[in-house]
A and B are shown apart, each in its own frame.
Chain A
Amino acid sequence: MSDLVISAENVSKAYRLGQITSGTLSDDLKIWWAKARGKPNPLLKIGQEVHGNVEGETLWALKEVSFTVEQGNVLGIIGRNGAGKSTILKILSRVTAPTSGFVKIQGRIASLLEVGTGFHPDLTGRENIYLNGAILGMKRAEIDRKFDEILDFSEVEQFIDTPVKRYSSGMYVRLAFAVAAHLEPEILVVDEVLAVGDAEFQRKCLGKMSDVAQQGRTVLFVSHNMSSILRLTRETIVLEKGHLVLRASSAEAVDYYLSAGNARAGERTWEESEIPPNAEPYHPIALRLLDKSGKVVETVRSVEPFSVEAEYSLSAPLTGLRIGLYINSARGDQVLTTFDIDDASRFEEYTSRSAGHYVSRCKFPADFLNGGRYILGVNASSYRIRRYFMDEQALAFNVSSLGAPGSQWSEPRSGAIRPRLEWQIEQR
């Protein structure tokens, strides 16, 4: 028997389109005047991009979402961009109010939509610890008590009396997270704050997060990172275009999320509306998994070679473009990253690509991946210049280990790769 600490009941949030864009009285008057004459809004951009659920001029970022969270549960929230994840966070954090519906909360709630909120660059680290702590809802006495711990965690002790604008970005983030990590609310709402800092620090943050969870506190965790979701949460809800479509164990939810959308068996295609406008001039078309005969498949055999191809077009020439593929295990562990111009001769051949239609195809050898479920990600960028497009969870696929080395035993093999290695056995 567990107590409910959060109960969201039919929560909806509408954003009015068009009206948001105008910021001056004269613009509003123009709109009214146009409306009065029955003309369309003169200030609405042509082809203005609209995500999600649109009715007339209203965008429903969330529509009748209901869920409950029990004391001590760690609940993940996942969904594609525009699915309403951040809106639900904002409502829970009281940054904005729902259009209809209620969220009832029992206990002290704190939200971390960002680390370092309210840091003032001119103030010293010490002053900022107090300020940031107070903004996040800590009492002065509480900060006094935890000050040494925070300082210790942040690893910036030497610079604590230096204005934070002199800090490196790593130090800044460490200090900011240290304050946040020492909040002790009964309910913690966390956005993807972990996507900052170096790997070492991220590991530390994740450790701290699971400590929090183990202390029996309730955590709501929103992330794009499936591996942190799987590691930290037991249950996850999936949002799609403002609706709650699934609540299940995290493994199931992640699998659902990864196979939803436009990913049909072995192929992921992108529609115009899914491509962010800033991807220009790069247009992703499709990502496909091909077996050794070139057929699009969802499952490949571990003992056979397979290929992955990314189809895309460029509406303008691009310099330094590289198409990257990621393979992650369904548990979220990274297996590899590879780029189409990794090879030195390719790198020189393709210093720039003219506008046109392309396919970058990567061939993977036989006896490479272990059996299991994997996630393919794709990325298009020019190194140190710009990232045009990225979809880390574009396509999920299976590898069958049938006939792989060692498959005479039915026990599962751990690890992501399953190479055919040469063993020698000598009797001495």
Chain B
Amino acid sequence: MVSPVWKVTMLKAMMARSEEGQKEPKKWDMVIGPERNLFDLRLRDLWHARDLIFLFVRRDFVSVYKQTILGPLWYLIQPLLTTIIFTFIFGNIAKLPTDGLPQFLFYMSGTVVWSYFATCIGKTSDTFITNSGLFGKVYFPRLAVPVSILISSLIAFAIQFIFFLGFMGYFALQGSVLHPNWWILMTPVLLMIMAGLGLGFGIIVSSLTTKYRDLRFLVQFGVQLVMYATPVILPISSFPKRFQWIILANPMTPIVEIFRYAFLGGAGTVNLPDLAYSFGFMLVAVIIGGVIFNRVEATFMDTV
């Protein structure tokens, strides 16, 4: 045992040492403290981590379909099967209207757009849970994970989008009347809003799931339900009047509607205020998400 007297001597020696000839830098590179500014998302760190983001995207893309027979073909099979089923059930059996557009293209355009949003939100909302092992061992800007998800989902979207264009061409050759128009130029804006919505809601849910695991199930299920409140399956015009406010309140509605109108023309409704509404909604979601994420990020390892 060490006698208390000895301990005190050690302590004094220690203090003496720390006073003798050490020089504090004028400015510290980094200060780790208990609180930090809620709105400081440290985007600069994120920018420095761009190599990491790129590698995450690559990892997601390469590893998902390893050891599968069809490999990346799954990117095409998913929307194709969904479209075929929608066409069969809603188009042929239920005979729901499609604003005069070819049923197949109508459903496919909706499915392709929707699946980008659904993938973004679904995967982002698992950020903390699936990466808890990684996050517990090393620091890197946590936002790198959700951002890489947005990008890798974008690649999947691109593949499906080209597939969709192929079908468009096929239907045009078959004599369907399509009216692609200048709204096509809005596609990047639509994608950005969807990415933002997916990111915003995804990170809100992801931050809350560190405490309440229940929310994961709610999201998986909820996203499916919300799809029925968009024009993915039913054009707005066919919704009963008294329920139309629900579909109009959904920020995804203008996105699906504009996308479809831009590429297929037809009877879709398109107006800028609706788009602005979606944009505003996205902005709010991203800001709230960012703040919550920032808060949770600092201490989530203690609760997971």
* A binding-site residues for B, Cβ under 8 Å: 1-4, 7, 15, 20, 23-26, 28, 68, 70, 90-109, 111, 113-114, 117-118, 120, 122-123, 127, 130-131, 134-137, 139-140, 163, 245-248, 256, 259-260, 264
Interface membership of chain B positions 57-87, coded 1 if the CB is closer than 8 angstroms to chain A and 0 otherwise: 0110011001100000000000000000000
In the complex, the answer to whether A117 meets B22 with C-beta atoms within 8 Å is no
The answer to whether A3 touches B23 (Cβ under 8 A) is yes
> Which A residues are CB-close (under 8 A) to B299?
96-97
Q: B17 to nearest A CB, angstroms? A: 8
Q: In the complex, are the beta carbons of A123 and B212 less than 8 A apart? A: no
Complex Cα distance A114/B138, Å?
A: 9
With A120-B63, A123-B59, A264-B1 in contact, is A4–B25 under 8 Å at CB?
Answer: yes
A106 and B301 CA atoms in complex are apart in Å by 25
* B175 on interface, CB distance cutoff 8 Å: no
* Chain B contacts for A3, CB-based, 8 A: 22-23, 25
A96 and B302 contact, CB distance less than 8 A: yes
Instruction: Using known A-B contacts A105-B30, A247-B14, determine if residue A123 contacts B138 with beta carbons closer than 8 Å.
Output: no
Rounded to whole Å, the gap between the CB of A384 and the closest CB of chain B is 28
- Once the chains are docked, how many angstroms separate the CA of A122 from the CA of B71? 14
Known: A102-B31, A131-B55. A70 touches B22 (CB 8 A): yes
- A20 near B138: Cβ-Cβ < 8 Å: no
- Known contacts A24-B214, A96-B302; is-contact A7 B62 (Cβ 8 Å): no
A-side contacts of B29, CB under 8 Å: 105-108
Which of A28, A68, A105, A248 is within 8 Å of B32, CB to CB? A105
The complex places the Cα of A134 from the Cα of B55 at a distance, in Å, of: 8
Asked if residues A90 and B22 are in contact (CB atoms below 8 Å), the reply is no
Using a Cβ cutoff of 8 Å, how many contacts connect chains A and B?
A: 145
Is A111's CB under 8 angstroms from B55's CB? no
| A123 engages B136 (CB within 8 Å) | no
Instruction: Name the A residues within 8 Å of B66 (CB-CB).
Output: 122, 163
Q: How far is the CB of B246 from chain A (nearest CB, A)?
A: 26
Closest to A89 in B: B137
**How far, in angstroms, from A272 to B120 measured CA to CA in the complex?**
50
Contact for A95 among B14, B24, B58, B136, CB less than 8 A:
B136
Inter-subunit contact B33/A102 (CB<8 Å): yes
- How far is the CB of A254 from the nearest CB of chain B, in Å? 13
List of 10 A-B pairs having minimum Cβ-Cβ separation, nearest first? A94-B139, A97-B298, A104-B28, A134-B52, A103-B32, A122-B66, A140-B51, A122-B63, A117-B137, A105-B30
Chain B residues closer than 8 Å to A260, beta-carbon distance? 1-2
- A99 to B214: give the CA distance in the assembly, Å: 27
Residues in A whose Cβ lies below 8 Å from that of B37: none
| B59 in complex: contacting residue of A28, A131, A247, CB < 8 Å | A131
Instruction: Assess whether B135 is in contact with A95, with CB atoms less than 8 Å apart.
Output: yes
Residue B174 CB within 8 A of the other chain: no
- Whether B34 sits at the interface, judged by CB under 8 Å, is yes
Say yes or no: B1 contacts A25, CB within 8 Å: no
